[in-house]
Amino acid sequence: DLPETARSLVTRPRGMLLVTGPAGSGKSTTQAALIDKVNREKSAHIMTIEDPIEFLHTDKKGIINQRQIGRDTLSFAIGLKYVLRQDPDLILIGEMRDLETISLAVTIAETGHLLLGTLHTTDAAQTVDRVINAFPIHQQQQTRMQLSVNLIGVISQLLLQKADGSGVISAFEVMVVTTAIKNCIREGKTHQIPQVMQTGAEHGMISMERSLVKLVNSGVITVDEALAKAPHPEALENLLPVTNKATSLAY
């Protein structure tokens, strides 16, 4: 299940919230759950740009307008420009594929909207780097400043096979942008983000390694599955109990 911290991030009035993970990891399902939470709880104007639309939403407390690439708009960037003129409270971008879309997304978050976007990155630090590195070198310092102010969180996820063969389960990493994370982004020290997250439990942060260890310890997934899917297997090994490490030596 999506951690409560992740759900609470979408109740913020403005900023950029990114949902990330490999293809087929369930990002669309997570986005749909977050959109539905806002739709049920707030009288918000929600607009989405998707390719394709995977989950159809109906108006609840909020008003929702879904637009599909190729049918309603030619591209994410063109769709974003149109959507901005409708003065929405929450904007969902199905995928931040190129510099123009990423640049528009940063600007939208900066102008007082809540923006929900996706990237194919595997963890929070890599996500921040991907956004910054999308820009030309001469714009990267300015982008660091913008991101440090406007990014509110990153939810990364993996889909794993259950140990009993009964299906799949998601593992989540949640980074909440605190003052310490803002400093890492602004100063170009994204390599320090994992360390900050390890000590950020009181803010609801959880690393992917901790999520995987929890699933291994409860017997839901095998050590081998965790190590095969983990973005940083060596970091995961250090957190596994000695009994589980013995199992994974053949890996």
pLDDT tens per residue, range 79-127: 998 998 998 999 999 999 899 999 999 999 999 999 999 999 999 999 9
pLDDT digits (tens, 9 = 90+) for 188-216: 999 999 999 999 999 999 999 999 999 99
- pLDDT reading at 224 higher than 80: yes
Rounded CA-CA distance 32/166 in Å is 24
Give the percent of the chain with pLDDT over 70.
96
Q: What is the pLDDT of residue 248?
A: 52
Q: What is the pLDDT of residue 1?
A: 85
Q: Which residues pair with 119 in a beta bridge?
A: 20
Rounded CA-CA distance 50/146 in Å is 25
* Whole-number average pLDDT of the chain: 94
- pLDDT reading at 251 higher than 60: no
Cβ–Cβ < 8 Å for 96, 105: yes
* Residues 208-236: b if buried by 16+ CB within 10 A, e if exposed: bbbbbbebbeeebbbbebbbebbbebeeb
pLDDT top residue among 41 and 246: 41
Q: What domains can be seen in the chain, in order of their start residue?
A: 4-206 (3.40.50.300), 208-251 (no CATH)
**Confidence band (pLDDT; 50, 70, 90) for 250?**
very low
Cβ–Cβ < 8 Å for 223, 209: no
75-79, 151-155, 230-234 — most confident range:
151-155
Q: What's at 231, amino acid-wise?
A: P
Distances in Å between the Cα of 191 and the Cα atoms of 75, 128, 129, 151, 232 are 33, 10, 9, 17, 13
**Confidence band (pLDDT; 50, 70, 90) for 70?**
very high
- Lowest-confidence pick of 65-79, 213-227, 228-242: 228-242
- pLDDT reading at 242 higher than 90: no
pLDDT top residue among 123 and 250: 123
Give the percent of the chain with pLDDT over 90.
91
pLDDT digits (tens, 9 = 90+) for 132-151: 999 999 999 999 999 999 99
Q: What is the mean pLDDT of residues 228-236?
A: 94
Max CA distance (Å), the chain: 58
